[in-house]
Structure 1
Amino acid sequence: MSSKSYDVVVIGGGVIGSAVAYWLAAEPAFAGRRVLVVERDSSYQECSTGRSAGAIRQQFSTRENIEISLFGAQFIKNVGDWLAVDGEAPALSFRENGFLFLASAEGWPILEANHRLQKDLGADNALLPAPALKERLPWLEVEDLAGGCLGLSMEGWLDPFSLLQGFRRKARALGADYVEDTVVGVSVENGRATGVTLASGETIAAGWVVNAAGPRSRDIAAMAGLALPVAPRKRQVFVFDCKTHIPTMPLVIDPSGLYFRPEGAGYICGIAPKEGEPDPDSLDLEVDWTPFEEILWPGLAARVPAFESIKPTGAWAGHYSVCLLDHNAVLGPHPELPNFLFANGFSGHGLQQSPAVGRGIMELIVHDGWRSLDLSRFGYERILRNEPVLERNVV
């Protein structure tokens, strides 16, 4: 059994963990210190990042979520400024087609309030009543809608795996170490995390431990004796073709919870279980076509008449790390273990939030506090107080 020592050990090398490693390695005030990322599968075949829908939006109802994604959009649009290695920037294939949140008459006042906050913070979107929406997007069925909010810039989708690899490649180029192994223990002494034990038998001493383990983050927290209300939930993405070409389609969020968007020459879609419906903890990746046939296809055809004639062509499953309190991230230290940092529970928003969250976790470690954005509202203390941060725009 061998032992090594690092200033920071990051558990999980997906997009969040690799973003943390990048920002640490790039920070001048961290120079001369060492960061290690422990990733259980360096092929990332089952990683949540690569199995996501790859979306970024500012259309949230919570100030901090909007600010996080505004920075994320600037990061993605100018990714070469941060992540280029030897002059080569990651090819993210960012499609800036926008998000379209649709609302019924009942949901319209909420959409209006969200729109006002988003605009006040610098988001670029337009609130469109149903007639204006129909004029702009004639392929869309709007008879049951009051209207929608359409992102005009800084929203869309990208290649999630390319962003992950971009963070990882740059972090390594700046001196971060990666090891393929599984954390099986977190050592705690005198109110501090002191290191981790790996499945290989190696022990790693650490000045800081960052939990970025995605759908397995609850297990990592338990190793440190901490309770984390974050659960792994399976989410499925279905791929289909349509005979009718539909131009300039954004990512559409239906009031039913159904979403769809273009993907190459075809389209993808999905839906999360409604509140009260079965949504068990799961690390399973098997695809069940029942939701597509019974829920998604009828919903697609009702919203886009051209989608009555479609052909399913594929599907995949991935995992959300769902914060059971409020579907918002859990960020920062546990009050009883101040050098054990959470970066967990993104509930499907991890990809778009990774640039700002990685930077913020770096600031906690290096500068002893949030600097660029105050994300303290997402701290662990709200869990102890049972005070959820309400986010109305959960997808």
Structure 2
Amino acid sequence: MTQTPKKNSYDVVIVGGAMLGSSCAWFLTDNPGFDGSILVVERDPTYEFTSTSHTNSCMRQQFSREINVRISQFAADFVKNFRAYMGDDPRVPNIPIQSYGYMYLADNAEFAATLRESQKLQAACGAGTKHMTREEIAAAYPFYNLDDIIAGNHNLIDEGYFDGNTLFDWWKRSARERGVEYVTNEVVAMTKDAGGRIASVTLKSGDEIACGTVVNASGPRAARTAKMAGIDIPVEPRKRYTFIFEAEKPLDRDLPLTIDPSGVHMRSDGTYYLAGCPPDDDPAVDYDDFVQDHSLWEDKVWPILATRIPQFEAIKLRNSWAGHYAYNTFDQNAIVGPHPEIANFIFVNGFSGHGFQQSPAMGRGVAEWITAGAYSSLDLTPFHFDRIARGARFEEKAVI
């Protein structure tokens, strides 16, 4: 059932109220330079089919570009000091980071060299990543079969996974308490003024809402939202699969989030284990297509788990689901900031699986840009839309 906004004009209209939309809304309320009105339009108040609901809530500093490392370092600080960032509200829980780390495994010299180069960059940023030989990996984690592995990278500091949905819930709750209005509705059209700026949005309910700024935070549906403004962006929904399983003989220590050369990843998940992967054939899918490919577990994931960790030959699948990446086909990095011509249309799109861990820095940056027309913390201009218009890819080698 759609809801009509309380007013017919807002300073900022955010299209999409999941993790990134709520991050932008909350950081706007937390920015001392912003005192405007905010409307968040969310088509599904249950968030059942959002990327937010299907996330694995992972966090890593193991990227090949400095800005991506810095973004994750802010996320780690934000999570570890969440209550303080939320104004020392005693209702806000402490959120630990399960710092099992990411373990990238290299089975060829070229990827091993890439890992070594990335480790140097990460170390220069203050990250705790270590480049490890096969023998060092075996000593730390003797359960791996490393016959084909020559090296790896691992970081046990502020890297692993966290309870991202608690972050999301409190951003949404706090934003509402600070005056942000959330409505169950859907933006179906946009109108421009004589200068080419977005003047208003039309909702599914028929309401026309004037706006000063529009933020596209609509996840895998980002291209549809951008199209309403006459903009094409290379973002599409891609399926990603998650499997929760139990081992007959559990490992004697935590399993890092291990990125196997096959593309399958696995980690500890409480008393269970989690694995995931893209399909071998990875096309764009329909926005509402969450049908699982059950053969993927039997034919690909389980055999790879059992090969990499022989103790996982005897495991039982407990749960599984398919979710969507908001996949940027151009360079798998986020599209953030203003459109170069429609300056009041702001992107926060195309995270390609990095959205949860990047949401604190991106919400803060979008709030800074809307408030002052510039970034005062991390410089997010490498993620601006104009790189796409120029055909200048922002390459990130560590994409999962």
The interval holding the TM-score normalised by the smaller chain is over 0.9
For structure 2, the residue ranges without an aligned partner over 5 or more in a row are none
CA contact (8 A) 1:83 1:90 kept: no
Q: Give the structure 2 partner of residue 211 of structure 1.
A: 216
1:261 aligned residue: 267
Paired with 2:300 and 2:376, the residues of 1 have a C-alpha distance of 44
* Corresponding position of 2:80: 77
Question: Please, what is the CA RMSD of the aligned residues?
Answer: 1.5
- Say whether residues 1:374 and 2:379 are aligned partners: yes
CA distance in 1, matches of 2:333, 2:89: 36
Give 3-state SS (helix, strand or coil) of 2:397's partner. Answer: coil
What does residue 22 of structure 1 align with? 26
Q: Measure how far apart 1:255 and its partner are.
A: 1.4
Letter in 2 for 1:316: W
The answer (yes or no) to whether the contact 2:337–2:385 under 8 Å persists in 1 is: yes
Q: Gapped runs of 5+ residues in structure 1?
A: none
Partners in 2 of 1:72 and 1:367 — Cα distance?
22
Residue 164 of structure 1 aligns with an amino acid whose one-letter code is: F
Mapped contact 2:62–2:69 kept (Cα < 8 A): yes
Q: How does 1:35-50 map to 2 (within 5 A)?
A: 35-50=38-53
Amino acid at match of 1:262: S
Query: Is the CA contact 1:234–1:282 (under 8 Å) kept in the aligned structure 2?
Result: no
Instruction: Return the match for 1:163 from 142, 164, 167.
Output: 167
Q: Tell me, in whole angstroms, the C-alpha distance in 1 between the residues paired with 2:142 and 2:328.
A: 38
**TM-score normalised by structure 1 residue count:** 0.96
User: 1:13-49: per-residue Cα shift (whole Å, max 9, x none)?
Assistant: 1110000000101111112x11111111111111111
| 2:80 and 2:96 in contact (8 A); partners too | no
Shift of 1:263: 1.6
* 1:315 match: 320
Q: Distance in 2 between matches of 1:86 and 1:357?
A: 23
Letter in 1 for 2:384: G
Which SS does the other structure have where 2:8 is aligned?
strand
1:390 to 370, 373, 395: 395
| SS in structure 2 of the partner of residue 287 of structure 1 | coil
Query: 1:252 offset after TM fit, Å?
Result: 0.8
What's 1:299 paired with? 304
1:270 aligns with 2:272: no
Q: What's the counterpart of residue 101 of structure 1? A: 104
Letter in 2 for 1:291: L
Note if contact 1:11-1:211 (Cα within 8 Å) is conserved in structure 2.
Answer: yes
1:286 and 1:105 mapped to 2: Cα distance?
Answer: 35
Match for residue 232 of structure 2?
Answer: 227
- The whole-number CA distance in structure 1 between the counterparts of 2:175 and 2:95 is 17
Residue matched to 1:12: 16
Question: 2:92 pairs with 89, 92, 109, which one?
Answer: 89
The amino acid that maps onto 2:8 is: K
Moved more, 338-347 or 99-108: 99-108
- For the Cα contact (< 8 Å) 1:90–1:163, is it kept in 2? no
Picking from 71, 75, 90, the partner of 1:68 is 71
What residue in structure 2 maps to residue 188 of structure 1?
Answer: 192
Q: Contact between 1:187 and 1:193, CA under 8 Å: does it hold in 2?
A: yes
Aligned length: 392
Tell me, yes or no, if the aligned pair for 1:84 and 1:170 is still in contact at 8 Å: no
* Alignment partners' CA distance in 2, 1:243 and 1:273: 27
Which residue is equivalent to 2:124?
A: 120
* One-letter amino acid matched to 1:152: L
CA distance in 1, matches of 2:399, 2:67: 14
Partner of 2:360: 355
* Aligned partners of 2:80 and 2:94 also within 8 Å: no
Q: How is 1:283-294 mapped onto 2 (pairs within 5 angstroms)? A: 283=287, 284-294=289-299
Is the contact made by 2:240 and 2:279 (CA closer than 8 Å) also made in structure 1?
Answer: no
Of the three residues 110, 125, 136, the one matched with 1:132 is 136
Name the CA distance, whole Å, in 1 between partners of 2:355 and 2:175.
Answer: 18
